Amino acid sequence: MPTQWKRSPEELHKTYVANTEAFYRAAGRGLAEQMDEFCVNCALQLFARSACLTEDHAQAVNALYSRGRPQPTWLLWALTTEVGKSGQFLPPLFYWQLTERDAREGTDLSRLFIRMLTNILLCLAAVDDDVTYAEAEYITECADKLSALCDGAGVKKGKPGLRAADFVTSAQPSFLDKNPPQAAGQTGPAQGQNGDKTAGEQPAEKPDLDELMAELDALVGLEQVKKDIKSMMNLVKVRQLRKDADLPVPPLSLHMVFMGNPGTGKTTVARLVGGLYAAIGALQKGQLIEVDRSGLVAGYVGQTAIKTQEVISSALGGVLFIDEAYSLSSGGENDFGREAIETILKAMEDHREELVVIVAGYTGPMEKFLDSNPGLESRFNKYIFFDDYNGEELNAIFHLQCKKNGYELDEEAEEYAKEFFNALYEGRDENFGNGRDVRNRFEDMVVRQANRVAAMEAPTKEDLVRFTKEDFLEEPEQEEDKASL
């Protein structure tokens, strides 16, 4: 049956602004950027519990921006990809600080935040005119986890929020139930959180080693990275064979350090490494859990270890990938990041047979990070360096994006693409984003091409799939180009 919470994108934006503005008046507008990012992440996790994903869901995420903040530009294909990778709910970093402030000043802003978030999530759940049990359970889980932090910090009780379960309209299976996430190369049924099989299911098949190796080989560039990964896999594979043959095996650390600039494929390779380790039996599942400092560090003493342990538990049997890991050691002796480091080091020792940790980031800061703690230096002894993509490789990545999403370039655009990506590489600076710059350019072109085609009276199928040089250029460049004629 229909739900009373359904909103159009415009109405949803007004609801979002109304709720967040009420919160900002009490807590300050400085939280707007963090709030928007947090709510988008919650939306991705919530939509994993929806019955299906449609353009309505993409439009709903694009409505989540505070007053004065830029509007997101999610496309459905990108949203579907990220929903498939969505993880578990974790309170935002600012929330821990908010509970401390409430406990100190006798206020209840953190309780107000829970009521606000519940309202927003119910509107998001209802974008398809249906609130499922799975969605209600997620909203309740969010509220319960936040409430537990309030209780632990000693925040005074406040007005209770809405009960999401009261607004359920159906019990349809969730999007992830219908499209279960799998480790790289895995073709068998999905397993439960602890690797247990549901009664009556067949055991999950191991990822296919040859398929994963082929996927590794198909990556653009990264020749030395591929060579290093294959060498590591050979070493682990032979070690497993010796172990199966009851031969002595020397100690071997499976943990790695990925060094390089953003957008060079570190996360993609880490995902493949998890699948490869699972394929040769070194790990049970091979899933990738990706976090950064905000996913590990809390706002006050004792809570960082709990938060980090939750992340580690979700990574057991697979790979824990920590991006910009050096941020954990950059805050001085009393920074809570050091508590996260110690918790991770202990887990690496306690779960040496079921956890692989990969730390990643810029080369210079990563070297300082490893020098900051003797335990880090002793446990990470395999370094893999990711070079920047050159112009030819950037162009190849762009063409893969086009092919994957059903776009083609006309002859003029083909020539311009070569020049553009060569110039992008030659003119790179400290802000160069490698593959991320390519993805951003592609997404911008999709928008410009859509605007161009929408203005046509009767666009053909070729018009719908074709990129032109005009789609490559931003508007100021187009004007300059016309002026030069």
User: Lowest-pLDDT range, 174-178, 470-474, 478-482?
Assistant: 478-482
pLDDT at 180: 53
Considering the domain boundaries, does residue 181 fall inside one?
no
Considering the domain boundaries, does residue 297 fall inside one?
yes
Considering the domain boundaries, does residue 398 fall inside one?
yes
pLDDT at 269: 93
Encoded tokens for 355: 């956890």
Entry field: residues in the chain: 485
Q: Say whether pLDDT at 82 is over 80.
A: yes
User: For all residues of the chain together, what is the average pLDDT?
Assistant: 82
Write down which residue in 361, 386, 411 finishes a domain: 386
Considering the domain boundaries, does residue 402 fall inside one?
yes
Higher pLDDT, 484 or 412: 412
Instruction: Looking at the structure, tell me whether residues 258 and 363 fall in a common domain.
Output: yes
Instruction: Looking at the structure, tell me whether residues 366 and 233 fall in a common domain.
Output: yes
Q: Say whether pLDDT at 182 is over 50.
A: no
CA–CA dist 14, 20 (Å, integer): 10
How much is the average pLDDT of 54-82?
87
Instruction: Looking at the structure, tell me whether residues 340 and 458 fall in a common domain.
Output: no
In terms of C-beta density within 10 A (0-12 exposed, 13-18 middle, 19 or more buried), how is residue 219 classed? middle
Considering the domain boundaries, does residue 189 fall inside one?
no
Identity at 150, one-letter amino acid code: C
CA–CA dist 247, 317 (Å, integer): 24
Instruction: Looking at the structure, tell me whether residues 451 and 309 fall in a common domain.
Output: no
The CATH number of residue 233's host domain is: 3.40.50.300
Higher pLDDT, 271 or 431: 271
Encoded tokens for 313: 């538990």
In a 3-state reduction of DSSP, which class is residue 355?
A: strand
pLDDT at 118: 92
Q: Which residues pair with 361 in a beta bridge?
A: 259
Considering the domain boundaries, does residue 484 fall inside one?
no
pLDDT at 114: 92
CA–CA dist 146, 98 (Å, integer): 11
pLDDT band, very low/low/confident/very high, at 43 (cuts 50, 70, 90): very high
pLDDT at 319: 92
Higher pLDDT, 270 or 173: 270
pLDDT band, very low/low/confident/very high, at 173 (cuts 50, 70, 90): low
Encoded tokens for 387: 């070079």
Higher pLDDT, 200 or 11: 11
User: Lowest-pLDDT range, 3-7, 8-12, 19-23, 344-348?
Assistant: 3-7
pLDDT at 363: 86
Comparing CA positions, the residue from 23, 211, 205 lying closest to residue 107 is 23
How much is the average pLDDT of 163-177?
70
How many structural domains comprise the chain? 3
Write down which residue in 325, 351, 386 finishes a domain: 386
Report percent pLDDT > 70 for the chain. Answer: 87
Q: How many CA atoms lie within 13 A of 350 on its CB side?
A: 10
Instruction: Looking at the structure, tell me whether residues 472 and 362 fall in a common domain.
Output: no
The per-residue pLDDT for range 291-324, each reduced to its tens digit, is 888 888 876 656 788 788 888 888 888 999 998 8
The CATH number of residue 406's host domain is: 1.10.8.60
pLDDT at 1: 42
pLDDT at 74: 85
**What's the DSSP call for residue 457?**
S
How much is the average pLDDT of 252-261?
88
Q: Say whether pLDDT at 117 is over 80.
A: yes
pLDDT at 286: 87
Higher pLDDT, 198 or 55: 55
Q: Say whether pLDDT at 438 is over 70.
A: yes
Instruction: Looking at the structure, tell me whether residues 376 and 433 fall in a common domain.
Output: no
Instruction: Looking at the structure, tell me whether residues 82 and 42 fall in a common domain.
Output: yes
Instruction: Looking at the structure, tell me whether residues 361 and 413 fall in a common domain.
Output: no
Comparing CA positions, the residue from 139, 116, 168, 162 lying closest to residue 4 is 168
Comparing CA positions, the residue from 358, 360, 357, 356 lying closest to residue 262 is 360
Write down which residue in 147, 174, 201 finishes a domain: 174
Task: Tell me which long-range contacts 111-114 makes (C-beta under 8 A, separation of at least 24).
Answer: 111/147, 111/150, 111/155, 111/156, 111/157, 111/158, 111/159, 112/22, 112/23, 112/26, 112/158, 113/23, 113/27, 113/146, 114/143, 114/146, 114/147, 114/150, 114/161
Comparing CA positions, the residue from 216, 292, 271, 308 lying closest to residue 84 is 271
Q: Are 465 and 406 in contact (CB under 8 A)?
A: yes
Rg of the chain over Cα atoms, rounded to whole angstroms, equals 24
DSSP 174-229: PHHHHS----TT--SPPP-TTSPPPTTPPPPPPPPHHHHHHHHHHSSS-HHHHHHH
pLDDT at 250: 78
pLDDT at 418: 92
Q: How many CA atoms lie within 13 A of 9 on its CB side?
A: 14
pLDDT at 247: 87
Considering the domain boundaries, does residue 410 fall inside one?
yes
Instruction: Looking at the structure, tell me whether residues 416 and 273 fall in a common domain.
Output: no
How much is the average pLDDT of 134-141?
88
| Domain encompassing residue 418 | 391-477
How much is the average pLDDT of 426-444?
86
Considering the domain boundaries, does residue 2 fall inside one?
no
Higher pLDDT, 401 or 81: 401
* Beta strand extents in 437-484 (DSSP E only): 466-467
Instruction: Looking at the structure, tell me whether residues 138 and 259 fall in a common domain.
Output: no
How much is the average pLDDT of 387-412?
90
CA–CA dist 191, 225 (Å, integer): 30
Instruction: Looking at the structure, tell me whether residues 165 and 213 fall in a common domain.
Output: no
How much is the average pLDDT of 46-57?
85
pLDDT at 175: 56
Instruction: Looking at the structure, tell me whether residues 68 and 145 fall in a common domain.
Output: yes
User: What is the distance of C-alpha 294 from the center of its chain?
Assistant: 13
